[in-house]
Structure formats: structure tokens, C-alpha cells
Amino acid sequence: MHAQVHTARLVHTSDLDSETRERIHQMVADAFAGDFTETDWEHALGGMHALIWHHGAIIAHAAVVQRRLIHQGNALRCGYVEGVAVREDWRGRGLVTALLDAGEQVIRGAYQLGALSSSARARRLYASRGWLPWLGPTSVLAPAGPVRTPDDDGTVFVLPVEVTLDTSAGLMCDWRAGDVW
């Protein structure tokens, strides 16, 4: 028996009708089992969505949205990965690989680097795909100025495309409501 090969379709937020956006939102919220806020959903909007359907149902999602990360005084154009989720009954079938293949295509085609904040469970997967764990201190450029984000240290991964990064240096993200990383 051959394993089914999954391919994610890339769609910009602006090309999703409201019903489809709501179905994606519901699937992602369900996949996170209550640990996905309205602000988390807001973070996943405005960029490219990698989507996998099965018989009309959305079973997997990831988004790449533009952010600015500051590294050694440079404001870098970043494709930031958000809302990676697979419906519970479809987990363990390679769908995340298909989502990341699509998301990384967007990152390599449009950004200087990719970045994401990973759960402990997913860190090995990202590392196996060439994502680098950020070893240095993290911070956010908040409205009042730079603020350290020590709770996010060790969770951030980057995928360099057009830049050389010192992963032991500091890394600062742009401000947003909710979880800044």
C-alpha cells in the first residue's frame, strides 16, 4: 500500500470568502483544543494560507504573514509562520510536511528569513527541516521601546533565506497584541 501524498494549496487571506475563513478558524481552534484565542487567529490573517482539504472539509492549515524582525540593527523582512494545525483525526499522516513545504516556498520566494515560535512537541520537526533554534535573547519592540521576552527564549526558530544570522545574538520582533512571538 502506498502512502497518500498531500499537497497544500496556497491562498491569500484576501481570496478567502468569509465562510471559508470561518471554517478554517473553527478547524484551527478545534485542533488547538481551546488554546487558540481570537488574537491568535488575527495573527494568522493578512498573508498566505497553506490549506489541505478532504472531501470539502478543511483538515490542515498554516499561514505565513509578514513581520519585521530586528537582528543586529537590521529590520529584516520576515515570513512568520502562524496557526499550524491538523484536524485531530488526520494527524500523523504527513500533512504538516505538506503545509511546511508550501509555507517554506512562500518564505523562500518573498522574505529574507522565516521565523516561528514552536511548541516543545514540534521543535524536532522544524530542526529536521533546516530551521535553526534561536539561542540568543528575544525581545519585542513595544510601544514604549524594546522589552525582553524571556518566556519566549528557546521557542523561536528561524529559516535564513537571504541573510546570515548569528543565532546567539539578540532577536527582536515587531509589536502586536497578544502573544508577540
The answer to whether position 26 is within a domain reads yes
Decide if 147 contacts 137 (C-beta within 8 A). no
The answer to whether position 167 is within a domain reads yes
The answer to whether position 104 is within a domain reads yes
pTM, whole model, 2 decimals?
A: 0.95
When divided into structural domains, the chain yields a total of: 1
Domain that holds residue 154: 9-174
* pLDDT per residue as tens digits for the range 70-104: 999 999 999 999 999 999 999 999 999 999 999 99
* pLDDT per residue as tens digits for the range 131-180: 999 999 999 999 999 999 999 999 999 999 999 999 999 999 999 999 99
Whole-angstrom distance, CA of residue 129 vs CA of residue 51? 19
The answer to whether position 181 is within a domain reads no
CA–CA distances in Å: residue 28 to residues 41, 62, 72, 78, 161: 9, 9, 35, 23, 28
The answer to whether position 179 is within a domain reads no
Domain containing 50 — which CATH number?
Answer: 3.40.630.30
